[in-house]
Amino acid sequence: MPEVAPAPGTSTLWAPQAWLPGGWHDNVLLSIGADGCWAAVRSGVAPPPAASQVLAGPLVPGLVNAHSHAFQRAFAGLAERRETPSDDFWSWRDRMYGVALRITPEQLRAVAAQLYVELLHGGYTQVCEFHYLQHDRDGRPYADPLELSWAVADAAAEAGIGLTMLPVLYERAGFAKPGLGVDQRRFRASAADVWAMHEALAASGRPLLNAGVAIHSLRGATAASIAELRQRAQASSAPIHVHVAEQRAEVADCIVATGVRPIEWLAREGQLDARWQLVHATHSTSAEVDAVARSGAGVVLCPGTEANLGDGLSDLEGWLGANVPISIGSDSHVTRAWREELRWLDYGQRLALGRRNVGAAPEIGVPSTAERLFGRSLAGGGAAAGATRWGLEPGARADALVVDTHDSGLLGIEPARTLDALVFSSPGRPWRDVMVAGRWVVREHRHTRGEAIAMRFAAAMREVWSETSS
């Protein structure tokens, strides 16, 4: 085969194997355009052209982390003791508010930067930040309403990860409550506020930053405000995220207040379309799954956090079987690697149903659980982040992960089983290198800013927890 020369303004990579649309391909040449997107992707190119950078292992697309509360990284691992007769989501939430009430913009930037470096090491190259921390610690607006949003955006820029900011509509503490509680004073934002924040973020021109909008939950916003925000976003293709049906108590409260279940209410009101992302959607009926499928909306599953908080198990088979777009998120960040999220997505089902490889679908030619869950999360994550293309394909942003085949969980694994081993074999450090928008941000397991970011994070944690304990 004749040598393939890169086009002017591009750089080229060559991988022995790469996960392209449809599965694994051998001898893959990828060209990166000046815009940081894949200009061309071609398999079967051997030997590697002289002008190409030969990669040390197989190439896998980075995944989108479709649901993040960055400030909660300061709380990860610190709510795992029970000193009262019971502990549940609601008691966890009360303790989490203590961190939300204390953290400053500078501390938030330090915490978020550490989180984003960890997410890159965990195989994510884009994060959707469900951002409801808006005001100063006394509840008064900052002079710049985006003070805390810019702190998060600065952290993402320093880490080198892509960021979808989702300012959140949040105006009440529950269906029967007219406003927010005193411990929620930093969260207040109306539909007009949210859309103004979205517009400012979208117009900022910052590299690797885009914006959508979010609604905290049906209990956290009135029907009129949800309708207003949807109307303001009518002409936009920006994603719309909402927490929904995470907890059984939330479902019961919604039935009392509206007469129907949360997902049912969204479908009945005609709210849903392909821009919508239903975060958690843990407690659903088959009729609700069908309604979501007809609308084109997606679901964002967060198995690590949902397990940590005792939320329950989603209807994975239902969502998969109805071809609803699926993405994953790390939410409260008790886990920060997509391999672990996918593992627990299937393990939860195995424990509940007494079967193995629940996510596999040999009847449609996909016997690998890991490959099916990864492929669906890859496609769904791009939509959740507002990207029209995602993965190792022309026009998509040039994001990629180089697999370290010397990692202990991958030693001796045949190439065709790489994803199986990545998800279901022993933990380790499988990503040798990480690329975002055509630029290496992790090389040989090392982030260039990692040590300095970690030092600032440790200092911020000491400050936050010194205050919360005082």
Q: Which domain holds residue 115?
A: 69-384
| Burial degree of 11 (CB within 10 A; 0-12, 13-18, 19+) | middle
pLDDT of residue 87: 87
Confidence of residue 63 (pLDDT cuts 50, 70, 90): very high
Inside any domain, residue 456: no
Q: To the nearest whole percent, how much of the chain has pLDDT over 90? A: 91
From 69, 280, 283, 447, active-site residue: 280
Mean residue pLDDT across the chain: 95
Give the tens place of pLDDT for each residue, 390-401: 999 999 999 999
DSSP state of 409: T
Beta bridge partners of 11: 32
Residues 436 and 412 in one domain: yes
Residues 263 and 307 in one domain: yes
User: Domain end: 384, 407, 429, which one?
Assistant: 384
Which alpha helices (H) appear in 354-412, and where do they start and end?
A: 369-384
Q: Judge whether 331 counts as a catalytic residue.
A: yes
Say if residues 211 and 164 touch (Cβ distance below 8 Å): yes
Give the tens place of pLDDT for each residue, 329-365: 999 999 999 999 999 999 999 999 999 999 999 999 9
Residues 284 and 413 in one domain: no
Inside any domain, residue 468: no
Confidence of residue 1 (pLDDT cuts 50, 70, 90): very low
pLDDT of residue 9: 58
Residues 190 and 92 in one domain: yes
Give the tens place of pLDDT for each residue, 147-158: 999 999 999 999
Residues 171 and 98 in one domain: yes
Inside any domain, residue 120: yes
Q: For residue 443, is pLDDT > 70?
A: yes
pLDDT of residue 83: 85
Say if residues 38 and 80 touch (Cβ distance below 8 Å): no
Residues 83 and 126 in one domain: yes
Say whether 80 sits in a helix, a strand or coil. coil
CATH of the domain at 421: 2.30.40.10
Confidence of residue 254 (pLDDT cuts 50, 70, 90): very high
Inside any domain, residue 340: yes
Give the tens place of pLDDT for each residue, 264-282: 999 999 889 999 999 999 9
Q: For residue 237, is pLDDT > 50?
A: yes
Residues 351 and 311 in one domain: yes
Inside any domain, residue 360: yes
From 331, 346, 399, 407, active-site residue: 331
pLDDT of residue 436: 98
Q: For residue 174, is pLDDT > 70?
A: yes
User: Domain end: 384, 408, 423, which one?
Assistant: 384
Mean pLDDT to the nearest integer, 136-142: 97
> Can you say how many angstroms the Cα of residue 261 is from the centroid of all Cα atoms in its chain?
25
CA-to-CA dists, residue 268 to 219, 259, 265, 323, angstroms: 17, 11, 5, 20
User: Domain end: 384, 403, 431, which one?
Assistant: 384
CA-to-CA dists, residue 142 to 60, 104, 233, angstroms: 41, 12, 25
Residues 57 and 73 in one domain: no
Say if residues 186 and 137 touch (Cβ distance below 8 Å): yes
Inside any domain, residue 429: yes
Residues 250 and 185 in one domain: yes
Give the tens place of pLDDT for each residue, 308-337: 999 999 999 999 999 999 999 999 999 999
pLDDT of residue 95: 87
pLDDT of residue 239: 98
Residue 233: phi, psi to the nearest 5?
-90, 5
Residues 104 and 195 in one domain: yes
What is the b/e burial string over 265-293, where b = at least 16 CB atoms within 10 angstroms of the residue's CB? bbbeeebbeebbbbbbbbbbeeebbebbb
Q: Judge whether 154 counts as a catalytic residue.
A: no
Nearest alpha-carbon partner for 197 in 241, 139, 145: 145
pLDDT of residue 3: 43
Confidence of residue 10 (pLDDT cuts 50, 70, 90): low
CATH of the domain at 157: 3.20.20.140
Say if residues 430 and 339 touch (Cβ distance below 8 Å): yes
Q: What is the pTM of this model?
A: 0.96
Give the tens place of pLDDT for each residue, 397-420: 999 999 999 999 999 999 999 999
Beta strands in 100-225 (DSSP E): 124-131, 162-169, 209-211, 213-215
CB atoms within 10 A of CB 153: 23
pLDDT of residue 468: 57
Residues 81 and 27 in one domain: no
What is the tally of structural domains in the chain? 2
Say whether 445 sits in a helix, a strand or coil. coil
CA-to-CA dists, residue 432 to 31, 402, 447, angstroms: 20, 6, 11
Residues 422 and 310 in one domain: no
Inside any domain, residue 467: no
Mean pLDDT to the nearest integer, 79-104: 90
Inside any domain, residue 101: yes
Give the tens place of pLDDT for each residue, 109-129: 999 999 999 999 999 999 999
pLDDT of residue 4: 46
| Separation CA 146–CA 144 (nearest Å) | 5
Confidence of residue 2 (pLDDT cuts 50, 70, 90): very low
